[in-house]
Chains A and B, each alone.
Chain A
Amino acid sequence: GAVVSQHPSWVICKSGTSVKIECRSLDFQATTMFWYRQFPKQSLMLMATSNEGSKATYEQGVEKDKFLINHASLTLSTLTVTSAHPEDSSFYICSARKAGQSNTEAFFGQGTRLTVV
């Protein structure tokens, strides 16, 4: 299967600082990547769809100015949590589907556990 690499796997940051999370498709091109957030014992919540070369599409209730998404190439999308607060502490997961294959499975990164203190 295809590989999606997410970095870092965990990060602890101080309240008010910003954190950048990277999502890379290692062996395929992904015109679209997806960012999810998952709180303990809850399901995946889609935050935004990242489109290569264009603006991301955010789900209702997700602040686009707080969660900055950049998808500058066909293999890299980044999520920056700006001015992080303790309530932003969560498990952030990216996924990607192969370009040109809209009907196939999504491949997930390893996830990033963010703790804001």
Chain B
Amino acid sequence: QKEVEQNSGPLSVPEGAIASLNCTYSDRGSQSFFWYRQYSGKSPELIMSIYSNGDKEDGRFTAQLNKASQYVSLLIRDSQPSDSATYLCAVNSGGSARQLTFGSGTQLTVLP
């Protein structure tokens, strides 16, 4: 079982719709969670970080964390074609591990 799992997609949504991206993780001791966006040929850039259960909103983006169910999601409201990218979920496990564990990414396409 992979430590961090994402639906690889591709996920297509029409412009203006809500895009929902999901991620599950296996380590119950995980403490911090991140969503990165990666455009083709570019390196990942951080969109959201979330550390406690519940929702965290930043503009059109909302991260949701449920530690009991071991999932974290990202909602993108009013999706734009410029949101088309691969979204990577990353998890920082507890203990001394310092590297982030990345999911395989979900490819999102927003259709104009």
- Chain A residues in the interface with B (C-beta under 8 A): 1, 6, 32, 34, 42-44, 46, 49, 91, 93, 95, 97, 102-111, 113
On chain B, the residues within 8 Å of A103 by CB distance are 31-32, 51, 92
The minimal Cβ–Cβ distance linking B102 to chain A, given in whole angstroms, is 5
Asked if B34 is at the interface (CB within 8 A of a chain A CB), the reply is: yes
On chain B, the residues within 8 Å of A108 by CB distance are 36, 43-45
Asked if B98 is at the interface (CB within 8 A of a chain A CB), the reply is: yes
A107 to B49, CA, bound (A): 12
- Chain B residues in the interface with A (C-beta under 8 A): 31-32, 34, 36, 41-46, 49, 51, 88, 90, 92, 96, 98-100, 102-105
Quick check: B100 and A104 within 8 Å, CB to CB?
no
Nearest first, the 10 closest Cβ-Cβ pairs linking A and B are A111-B43, A43-B104, A108-B43, A93-B43, A103-B32, A105-B46, A44-B102, A43-B105, A102-B98, A108-B44
Total number of residue pairs linking A and B with CB closer than 8 Å: 52
On chain A, the residues within 8 Å of B45 by CB distance are 108
A104 to B46, CA, bound (A): 11
Quick check: A43 and B103 within 8 Å, CB to CB?
yes
Query: A97 — nearest CB in chain B belongs to which residue?
Result: B98
Quick check: B99 and A109 within 8 Å, CB to CB?
no
Partner of B99, one of A49, A91, A113: A49
Quick check: A105 and B103 within 8 Å, CB to CB?
no
A1 to B47, CA, bound (A): 11
The minimal Cβ–Cβ distance linking B91 to chain A, given in whole angstroms, is 11
The minimal Cβ–Cβ distance linking A55 to chain B, given in whole angstroms, is 16
Quick check: B102 and A43 within 8 Å, CB to CB?
yes
Instruction: Using known A-B contacts A43-B88, A103-B32, A105-B34, determine if residue A1 contacts B46 with beta carbons closer than 8 Å.
Output: yes
